[in-house]
Structure 1
Amino acid sequence: MTLMKVSSFAAGQWIAPGANARPIASAITGLPLAEAGGADLDMQAMIDYARNVGGPALREMGFHDRAKMLKALAMELGQHKQELYDLSFDTGATQSDHMIDIDGGVGTVFVFASKGRREMPDGKVYIDGEIEQLSRNGTFLGMHIATPLQGVAVHINAFNFPVWGMLEKLAPTLLAGVPAIVKPATATSYVTEAAVRIMLDSGILPEGALQLISGGTGDLLDRLGPQDIVSFTGSAQTASMLRSNPNILKNSVRFVAEQDSLNASILGPDVTPGTTEFDLFIKEVHREMTTKAGQKCTAIRRIIAPEAQVQNVIEALSARLDKTVIGDPRAEGVRMGALVSAGQKTDVLQKAAAIGSESKMVYGNPDDIDFEGDVDPGAFVKPMLFHCENPDTATIVHECEAFGPVSTIMGYRDIAHAIELANKGEGSLVASVITGSGEVAREVAMGAGAFHGRLYFNNATSMKESTGHGSPLPHMVHGGPGRAGGGEEMGGVRGVLHYMQRTAIQGSPDILTSISGRWVPGATEITGPAHPFTRKYGELSIGETLNTKSREVTLADIEKFAHFTGDTFYAHMDSEAAKRNPFFPDRVAHGYLLLSFAAGLFVEPNEGPVLANTGLDNLRFMKPVEAGDSMKVRLTVKAKTRRTDEYGEVRWHVTLTNQDDELVAEYELLTMNAY
């Protein structure tokens, strides 16, 4: 059999493994499959290539351009899923596991592409929060912006998800405008390399945006600076070693870690055998024990159940495990494959033995080597379930993670005790609670939230659409405090901001407008050559303003609007009642009447480039308008965002003022305008 040569991609060149390459064996057969590493990579050249070629090219693109790039990458990867599936079987993964790793990774890229287009500006500067008023008259203001780091992101990934583990880091990094050097775990690097080749061969990425190290990182970390960032997934021991690198500490290099996590699942005190929630709990635990052969950072390691339900859980879970077919993941009917390597199996068995020193094994047998298919049993292990009778005094079950199909069940007296046991893990990526009780959920959220990066609640109402205890979603933060590493990944735009620098900006409205690309109240207003509603998206300028004529609001207007809409609230109809209200001097106009009159003042009625009014944001009414008052409108182009090649969104800043130029109302109008 010809060994696969797992190459690196460094400074624009593919580099084959060197003389001291490390062999990689198939998890299924134990036979040599590939080799990786051993090449003499020039780490400084890789860093320079990222900083000087990839970084500038990405920063030249705006958020929306980078989002379109991500979408194209996801589509390209989606067309090559089968070849990635075929490679991934040798990692011990089943077809269901591929759906999590490969399909999940592609889906994650799609989500970040969508969020980049929908939630980030059509520009190069991200605005974080609202304008801060730093002076009485508004001539000196403050805002926070985020801009891309001008270094390189080094992604050091674990073996268990060679595709998703790369893409969930890479998508927010590229969207931020930062180039990446990806270092996968050697054991499954051949799958990552295949995915990287697909992306690079597509020509979608600018040069220098993505590089790959298949093998050791050499002195890479010794060469990083304050504009660089390291994102690590793996063991706490390795994370500690990398984090304490003197150069990392000296240069305050950002270090994000997602590491060992003794995740827990709590069976609510309201759940009993025979109920939908009990069956759901057993299903969730079984899935987390067997998916990827338990090699998941989010897998359930500690099962926390009411003391009266412990035996019922053991029996139900054991019966479900009995039906799980284990063997060659390519074979029909197999539901759990192998651990990634024989070495990983040795580690899992050693950790299981340690857990067994203070817990009783109630399901499983490490000496059972009967597996489906013609396989090498060296990397296969069957699920093991332990029962810890004294979880309050036990230590190993709360400190030792067997990274395989191994879980420990323990009983609790009340929900406060369950929370205490869950928190004994000293920080995890996720804890789940199966309950129909809102009170239980609230108590867990308040008592355990500080110890867990994610709390997953499920019951009969949400179970059909829920994504599962062990499924990190790109929309939600993935990470956890304490033992879990103290880091965060994904979380939508939050994850993008990890690769950007937040900077406080202070200056005049014109300066802030120029920097942010969004009109700031008080900045220069531009008078356009024609009514703004007659001009296409591309013809409108930020700051372009229309000032309307005035309109008097009469008592007849107020009464007609009240009867026409049915809104006869007393402040509009009863003078004496209105005067007793501390907010109103007399009968006042409806706020929505003012908005309607405002539209009548600024709208151009004829067919033109304005396609639709899609909403109002940040509407505020500042001062009541009485009968006899007049009002006028100022309409200013605040921001523009491309949506398709045919139209874009225009955000208008709208103010309503009265005859004394006092602010009556303020809001942002959204329209879709044709190109």
Structure 2
Amino acid sequence: MTTQADVRTVPSYVRDQWWTPDEGSRAAEVLDASTGEAVARFGADGLDLGEVLAHARTVGQRELGTLTLHERALKLKELAQVLNGRRDELYALSNRTGATKADNLFDIDGGIGVLFTYSSKGRRELPHSNVIQDGDVEPLSKDGSFIGTHIYTRLPGAAVQVNAFNFPVWGMLEKFAPAFIAGVPTIVKPATPTGYVTEAAVRIMVESGILPAGSLQLVSGSARGLLDVMDYRDLLAFTGSASTAQSLKSHPNVVTGGVRFTAETDSLNAAILGPDAIEGTPEFDAFVKAVVTEMTVKAGQKCTAIRRTIVPEAQREAVARAISARLDSRVVVGDPRAEGVTMGALASVDQLQGVRDAVKDLLAAGGELAYGTLDAPTVRTASGEEAVVEHGAFMSPVLLSWADGDAELLHSREAFGPVTSLLGYADVDDAVRLAARGSGSLVATVCTNDPEVARELTTGIAGHHGRVHLLNRETARSSTGHGAPVPHLVHGGPGRAGGGEELGGVRAVKHHMQRTALQGSPNLVTAVTGVWQTGADRRIAGSPAFGAEEGAVHPFRKSLADLRIGDALASDLRQVTQEDITAFADTTGDTFYAHTDPRAAEANPFFPSTVAHGYLLVSWAAGLFVEPAPGPVLANYGLENLRFLTPVAAGDSIRITLTAQRITPRVTDDYGEVTWDAVIQNQDGEIVATYDVLTLVEKEDTLYRDWQG
């Protein structure tokens, strides 16, 4: 029997140490969702939230700022590996919230997966610096001496996250990961019913020693008053009820103080069965499976769960039978620690009562109980017995069928549990109309194998949804599912869903950064961005006739230790003959008339006569800039942004200027990536082609030394 003295007060982690309120302070008690036993107590009386925020803005900002985007991204991978090795500890705690093994895969493994994904994308898609150049350069003067661009730099404040109870690990990590890469310290306020699981995850991260000081703080208990001390430097990301979101959004520091606020809130998500997906088709079966999964994963306590199941009216009874049959055959309600249980308890007795009340309201508004009961169900206990558990927060899955699909409450009242409503539509336009009545949702599934139906439904509902999940026989096995946001794509939705966007890969990192217009000379913009800009100074090797400096070294002979932005090569001219053009055409099979037929070429408004192939010019350009001996350059791995601007006829000549534009060392390897600005010009100085050459270059010139020796 657990006594009051046995129940642990969950500590906060603030100012880089664990903190617990004084004995006797106000505290909320949290119970095991399956047994009703006391699990933990939560309280934060006496915690100075102003000091917590100040610590993030000072120590957290300073320590994160010593690292680059790549270095912070690598630390995410290290944190993911540590958490991955201690998942069983988190699973055991999470079971007490009513979460099954499958639920834990969604929450805990899903959260760890977010860290891995962001680590990979951050190192692959962002620079090895703390400034991101956004978009192309805009010329602001005729002579090129004044240019403009945009840059992203990290916000100077803190990222505060207030999370819902349903995903204590994923909910924290999906917000933490992009903020951490951006270099913004995080303050986490988890929901009390499951916050002890969040605390355990934070403790593992702290114990790893990977986190820079001040980069992550945890408030276990009320954070009331934190928004009072936030300002324009900070951002608040909220997940929870629409009413709480509205209260936060109306705070003076949000309305007039400039605090950046995003919300992900209540959402009456839909799943639409296409008119082609009749009973017996793979789409019908996939649809039923998706609905049952969304009803039962996390006991339906998901912001992305399917609340409105919209099907052709003629199929409503068949769908109801199929859903009921699958629930009967696949779902075992009970304590997640019992063998064979597939759906656990709701997070708390209070949550259970709220869902029951919502279902009663829906029944009174016209819904009919097609499956399930509001009575306490018989469940499988931890000992394996079948019983009605007096203190558990268990609920039967509930399917409501609606004869009137336009009932107002159906599209406005959410039962945040294992509940979905089944309604019929007359045609595709009617299905779009019904889906839109949710007034803004996180996600909708469109299940059809008819491309035209998929197009009509998607374009009809996309403006009302943050994500559309297309389901058919081709994706039934590979899809991550209706209710599974992925870190690569944005997660959020308009209207009732809150209007925010989380995740989304690099988009979410930039959400924690300020975009600033930058104007100046090419040299100064180069200095700020770390990217060479056209018109900035260069150190040129190669042909003296085209600006080479005496003693300048071919840039391909430099390792990353010696290479600098602006190191360049200017080649000599090479003349193009008709024999060269013909030989290239014969060798490659590219006998397009512009290269082989003078009369046809002259009739084309773009060509003076037969012209050289663009790829011949690019190939020759490589011959003009390559340094053939083994050395720091390990490989050419691609070209980007190739554009052909001026045709080159027989008798013309070409030359190339190659400039080190961007240098990106890889933090885990002995080499890095160098992007070279390549400009091909003709004998008159006209630009023939522009592109970027991508190479892999050693950090130290070991290969060349070994070859020499």
TM-score by length of structure 1 reads: 0.99
What is the aligned partner in structure 2 of residue 671 from structure 1? 695
Q: Please give the secondary structure, in 2, of the residue aligned with 1:320.
A: helix
What is the aligned partner in structure 2 of residue 557 from structure 1? 580
Deviation at 1:218, TM superposition (A): 2.6
What is the aligned partner in structure 1 of residue 95 from structure 2? 89
CA–CA distance in 2 between the matches of 1:612 and 1:545? 18
What is the aligned partner in structure 2 of residue 400 from structure 1? 413
CA–CA distance in 2 between the matches of 1:538 and 1:351? 65
1:270-293 CA distances to partner (integer Å, 9 max, x unpaired)? 101111111100000000000000
What are structure 2's unaligned runs of at least 5 residues? 383-388, 542-551, 700-709
With 11-20 and 329-338 compared, the bigger mean Cα shift is at 11-20
Deviation at 1:456, TM superposition (A): 0.3
Which of residues 9, 16, 20 is equivalent to 1:12? 16
CA–CA distance in 2 between the matches of 1:411 and 1:538? 67
Q: Please give the secondary structure, in 1, of the residue aligned with 2:334.
A: coil
Give the conservation status (yes or no) of the 8 Å contact 1:231–1:256: yes
Which of residues 360, 385, 398 is equivalent to 1:384? 398
1:366 aligns to 2:374 (yes or no): yes
Which of residues 285, 291, 314 is equivalent to 2:291? 285
What is the aligned partner in structure 2 of residue 42 from structure 1? 48
Deviation at 1:229, TM superposition (A): 0.3
Deviation at 1:368, TM superposition (A): 4.1
CA–CA distance in 2 between the matches of 1:388 and 1:254? 41
Deviation at 1:17, TM superposition (A): 4.0
CA–CA distance in 2 between the matches of 1:535 and 1:525? 15
Give the conservation status (yes or no) of the 8 Å contact 2:44–2:219: no
Give the conservation status (yes or no) of the 8 Å contact 1:222–1:248: no
1:654 aligns to 2:678 (yes or no): yes
Which of residues 159, 173, 177 is equivalent to 1:153? 159
What is the aligned partner in structure 2 of residue 534 from structure 1? 557
CA–CA distance in 2 between the matches of 1:651 and 1:143? 19
Aligned length: 674
What is the aligned partner in structure 1 of residue 385 from structure 2? none
Give the conservation status (yes or no) of the 8 Å contact 1:155–1:231: yes
Give the conservation status (yes or no) of the 8 Å contact 1:59–1:148: no
What is the aligned partner in structure 1 of residue 505 from structure 2? 492
1:226 aligns to 2:213 (yes or no): no
1:456-493 CA distances to partner (integer Å, 9 max, x unpaired)? 00111122211000000000100000000000000001
Query: Pairwise mapping of residues 429-578 of structure 1 onto structure 2 (< 5 A)?
Result: 429-527=442-540, 529-578=552-601
Q: Please give the secondary structure, in 2, of the residue aligned with 1:129.
A: strand
CA–CA distance in 2 between the matches of 1:156 and 1:630? 64
Query: Pairwise mapping of residues 221-260 of structure 1 onto structure 2 (< 5 A)?
Result: 221-260=227-266
What is the aligned partner in structure 1 of residue 620 from structure 2? 597
CA–CA distance in 2 between the matches of 1:48 and 1:76? 29
**Amino acid in structure 1 at the alignment position of 2:202:** V
**Amino acid in structure 2 at the alignment position of 1:545:** A
What is the aligned partner in structure 2 of residue 163 from structure 1? 169
Give the conservation status (yes or no) of the 8 Å contact 2:44–2:223: no
Which of residues 338, 347, 350 is equivalent to 2:354? 347
Deviation at 1:569, TM superposition (A): 0.8
Deviation at 1:376, TM superposition (A): 4.2
CA–CA distance in 1 between the matches of 2:555 and 2:44? 63
CA–CA distance in 2 between the matches of 1:283 and 1:109? 29
Q: Please give the secondary structure, in 1, of the residue aligned with 2:56.
A: helix
TM-score by length of structure 2 reads: 0.94
CA RMSD across the alignment? 1.0
Q: Please give the secondary structure, in 2, of the residue aligned with 1:44.
A: helix
What is the aligned partner in structure 1 of residue 310 from structure 2? 304
Which of residues 259, 267, 276 is equivalent to 1:261? 267
1:136-186 CA distances to partner (integer Å, 9 max, x unpaired)? 332221111111000011100000000000000000010111001000001
Q: Please give the secondary structure, in 2, of the residue aligned with 1:599.
A: helix
Give the conservation status (yes or no) of the 8 Å contact 1:572–1:589: yes
Give the conservation status (yes or no) of the 8 Å contact 1:17–1:36: no
CA–CA distance in 1 between the matches of 2:324 and 2:476? 22
Deviation at 1:445, TM superposition (A): 2.0
Which of residues 316, 320, 332 is equivalent to 1:325? 332
Query: Pairwise mapping of residues 106-255 of structure 1 onto structure 2 (< 5 A)?
Result: 106-255=112-261
CA–CA distance in 2 between the matches of 1:81 and 1:318? 34
Identity of aligned residues (%): 53
Deviation at 1:510, TM superposition (A): 1.2
1:523-579 CA distances to partner (integer Å, 9 max, x unpaired)? 111236311111112211001111011111111111111111111111011100000
Segments ≥4 residues shifted beyond 3 Å: 374-378
What is the aligned partner in structure 2 of residue 338 from structure 1? 345
With 315-324 and 531-540 compared, the bigger mean Cα shift is at 531-540
Q: Please give the secondary structure, in 2, of the residue aligned with 1:453.
A: strand
1:33-88 CA distances to partner (integer Å, 9 max, x unpaired)? 11111431111110110000001211221110110111111111111100000100
Deviation at 1:220, TM superposition (A): 0.7
**Amino acid in structure 2 at the alignment position of 1:355:** L
Deviation at 1:443, TM superposition (A): 1.1
CA–CA distance in 2 between the matches of 1:83 and 1:4? 17
Query: Pairwise mapping of residues 607-622 of structure 1 onto structure 2 (< 5 A)?
Result: 607-622=630-645
1:489-532 CA distances to partner (integer Å, 9 max, x unpaired)? 00001111111111111112112111110011111112363111
